[in-house]
Amino acid sequence: MTIVVNLDVMMAKRKIRLKELVAKVGITEQNLSILKTGKAKAIRFSTLEAICTALSCQPGDILEHADSSETTSN
């Protein structure tokens, strides 16, 4: 099982750039980029809450639980 991060999708839907979201959320551009690319190992609830507030979305709009076979190619 894998957690898929759809932050880039939500940012595109809301037409918000990385630097703008960084200013609203209050974390570094590097940390938000790591999260956006799915390379983050964890996320604080306070950060997730700030992202959801800035993007007017729910945590499930950003994070998705997927079967590992769906995310890898055979």
Q: Are 18 and 52 in contact (CB under 8 A)?
A: no
Domain ranges of the chain: 2-71
Does pLDDT of 72 surpass 60?
A: no
Name the residue with tokens 């595109």. 12
**pLDDT tens digits, residue range 18-70?**
999 999 999 999 999 999 998 999 999 999 999 999 999 999 999 999 887 65
Task: List the CATH code of the domain at 2-71.
Answer: 1.10.260.40
